[in-house]
């Protein structure tokens, strides 16, 4: 029977000979992830159930990134709770200040996730790793507790939806623009409980950072996963990662990481994105998308460049290219947050950090920070922010009376200069 890439990965982790969409399965996982918000809940459930040891201390990853560096005593207690449990269990991959990064930028960088893996994480944006050609999905803390105990999890096999992008895109168009366009076209429930499969010449031409951005926001269309077939760019990225892979897959399995030609899809979308303008999501949904030129009169109080969506080195390079020799608009707060410590030091070495500071911005240590209304950039009543983050729900970045727009790094940098939403060509 023919299968999609999502179905193949799930099937490989079971003892079944065949699976189909809608079927409930139990599968072995390659990695279990949680952060400083979700890990304490999972650990408490793990202990309540009477478990004493995690299934594999090398396949459990805890990252304190949401409220770290700790913004208050409660946040510090959360981090300490996870740190102590990690030490008790001998968990090798516990990351906090000094070692940490934003989890979905950090794990690929360290080689902890790779093609063919089945990854669960108590964070909805775990779907990011699908850019590597793995099936990674967000789950609840209770399900994670079970995963910590025996390395297994239940899944409902999702139907797959294929998205094919054709054409030639402009120099300011990146993965953020494509995924915003896609969510705008199909809606925030357009891929509900499905696996989004991104393909076509435009996706194949993208670097890995742009691919991570696309997969990261699959959840914003309601999807369980956002997968891109691995190619030479993928394998080159994995080879350059800083750690040995957690699990070694056989070569023939990696070569088979593609959807069969006669695989069945719930839907297929095909778009020619030639001439596309940069895209912006307006309050208060990632699906409320408009071309940047239609929003040129939108005044801003704050611009945030970073997050697990657009805090990678190429994102910072794009922003610095636009900001170099210029100043952020007087009265506007410019906040730049690299995704990991490695990206942080690389940005310093390349002179990007100096550009951001010279422009009147701040250059922060890695953290989720303002993305979820944590710290380092909370909005008050009536304030308007343009961010390269992934969500703009009511109250997402602070006050429920504030407004958050979403864009890629080029639009964000240009807008910081003018103080209003601006096309990069205008600066």
User: Residues with Cβ < 8 Å from 176, sequence gap 6 or more?
Assistant: 210, 213, 217, 279, 309, 310, 388, 406, 407, 408, 409
Pairing of strands 302-306, 118-121: unpaired
Query: Cα dist. 300→28, 144, 194, 237, 415 in Å?
Result: 47, 39, 35, 36, 8
Q: Any long-range contacts for 110-113 (C-beta under 8 Å, 24+ apart)?
A: 110/241, 110/242, 110/243, 111/238, 111/241, 111/242, 111/243, 111/244, 111/245, 112/31, 112/61, 112/243, 112/245, 112/246, 113/30, 113/31, 113/246
Q: Give the predicted TM-score (pTM) of the model.
A: 0.94
Q: How big is the CA angle at 273 (ends 265 and 205), to the nearest 5 degrees?
A: 80
Given a contact cutoff of 8 angstroms between Cβ atoms, the answer to whether 373 and 398 are in contact is yes
Cα separation, 132 vs 424, whole angstroms: 29
Cα separation, 15 vs 28, whole angstroms: 9
Could you tell me where in the chain the CATH 3.30.499.10 domains are found? Answer: 5-17+24-240+263-272, 279-426
Q: How big is the CA angle at 274 (ends 270 and 276), to the nearest 5 degrees?
A: 100
Cα separation, 249 vs 310, whole angstroms: 29
What does the pLDDT read at residue 239? 86
Given a contact cutoff of 8 angstroms between Cβ atoms, the answer to whether 104 and 124 are in contact is no
* Tokens 């308007």, residue located: 384
What does the pLDDT read at residue 295? 96
Cα separation, 370 vs 232, whole angstroms: 35
Listed residue (317, 319, 288, 335) closest to 413, CA to CA: 319
Cα separation, 273 vs 172, whole angstroms: 13
CATH homologous superfamily for 279-426?
Aconitase, domain 3 (3.30.499.10)
Listed residue (148, 122, 132, 152) closest to 29, CA to CA: 152
Cα separation, 282 vs 404, whole angstroms: 7
Cα separation, 331 vs 77, whole angstroms: 35
Cα separation, 7 vs 14, whole angstroms: 11
What does the pLDDT read at residue 1? 84
What does the pLDDT read at residue 249? 56
- The reply to whether omega before 52 is within 30° of 0 (cis) is no
What is the DSSP code (8-state) at residue 369? G
What is the DSSP code (8-state) at residue 93? E
Which fold is adopted by the domain 5-17+24-240+263-272?
A: Aconitase; domain 3 (3.30.499)
Given a contact cutoff of 8 angstroms between Cβ atoms, the answer to whether 113 and 70 are in contact is no
Cα separation, 143 vs 145, whole angstroms: 5
User: Residues with Cβ < 8 Å from 314, sequence gap 6 or more?
Assistant: 207, 209, 210
Query: Cα dist. 190→264, 268, 416 in Å?
Result: 18, 12, 32
What does the pLDDT read at residue 246? 43
What does the pLDDT read at residue 258? 93
Both structure tokens of 290 = 């408009």
Task: Give me the residues paired with residue 152 across strands.
Answer: 28
Residues 54, 55, 59, 65: is their CA dihedral positive or negative? negative
Cα separation, 55 vs 60, whole angstroms: 8
Average pLDDT, 10 consecutive residues per value, the chain (427 residues): 95 95 97 96 96 96 92 92 95 89 95 95 97 96 95 97 96 96 97 97 97 98 97 90 53 74 96 96 97 95 97 98 97 97 96 98 94 93 98 95 98 98 95
């Amino acid at each position: 029977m023919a299968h999609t890439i999502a179905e193949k990965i799930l099937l490989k982790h079971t003892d079944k000979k065949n699976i189909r969409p809608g079927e409930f399965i139990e599968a072995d996982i390659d990695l279990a992830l949680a952060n400083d918000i979700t890990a304490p809940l999972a650990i408490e459930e793990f202990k309540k159930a009477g478990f004493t040891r995690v299934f594999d201390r090398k396949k459990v990853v805890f990252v304190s990134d949401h409220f770290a560096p700790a913004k208050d005593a409660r946040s510090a207690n959360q981090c300490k709770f996870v740190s102590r449990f990690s030490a008790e269990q001998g968990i090798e991959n516990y990351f906090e200040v000094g070692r940490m990064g934003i989890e979905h930028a950090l794990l690929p960088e360290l080689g902890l996730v790779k093609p063919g893996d089945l990854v669960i994480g108590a964070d909805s944006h775990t779907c990011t790793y699908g850019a590597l050609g793995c099936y990674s999905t967000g789950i609840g803390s209770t399900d994670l507790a079970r995963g910590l105990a025996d390395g297994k999890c239940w899944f409902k096999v999702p139907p797959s939806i294929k998205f094919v992008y054709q054409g030639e895109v402009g120099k300011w168009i990146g993965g953020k623009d494509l995924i915003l366009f896609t969510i705008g076209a199909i809606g925030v429930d357009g891929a509900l409980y499905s696996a989004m499969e991104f393909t076509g010449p435009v996706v194949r031409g993208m670097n890995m950072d742009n691919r991570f951005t696309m997969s990261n926001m699959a959840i914003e269309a309601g999807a369980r996963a956002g997968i891109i077939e691995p190619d030479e760019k993928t394998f080159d990225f994995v080879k350059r990662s800083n750690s040995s892979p957690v699990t070694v897959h056989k070569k023939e399995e990696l070569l088979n990481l593609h959807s069969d030609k006669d695989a069945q899809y719930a839907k297929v979308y095909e778009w020619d994105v030639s001439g596309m303008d940069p895209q912006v999501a307006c309050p208060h949904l990632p699906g409320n998308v408009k071309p940047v030129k239609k929003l040129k009169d939108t005044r801003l109080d704050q611009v945030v460049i970073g997050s697990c969506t657009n805090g990678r080195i190429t994102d910072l390079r794009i922003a610095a290219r636009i900001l170099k020799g210029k100043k952020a608009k007087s009265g506007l707060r410019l906040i730049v947050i690299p995704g990991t410590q490695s990206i942080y030091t690389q940005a310093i070495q390349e002179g990007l950090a100096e550009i951001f500071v010279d422009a009147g911005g701040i250059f922060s240590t890695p953290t989720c920070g303002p993305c979820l209304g944590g710290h380092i950039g909370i909005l008050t009543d009536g304030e308007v922010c343009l961010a390269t983050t992934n969500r703009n729900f009511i109250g997402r970045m602070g006050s429920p009376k504030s407004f958050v727009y979403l864009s890629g790094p080029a639009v964000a940098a240009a807008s910081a200069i003018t103080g209003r939403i601006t096309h990069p060509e205008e600066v």
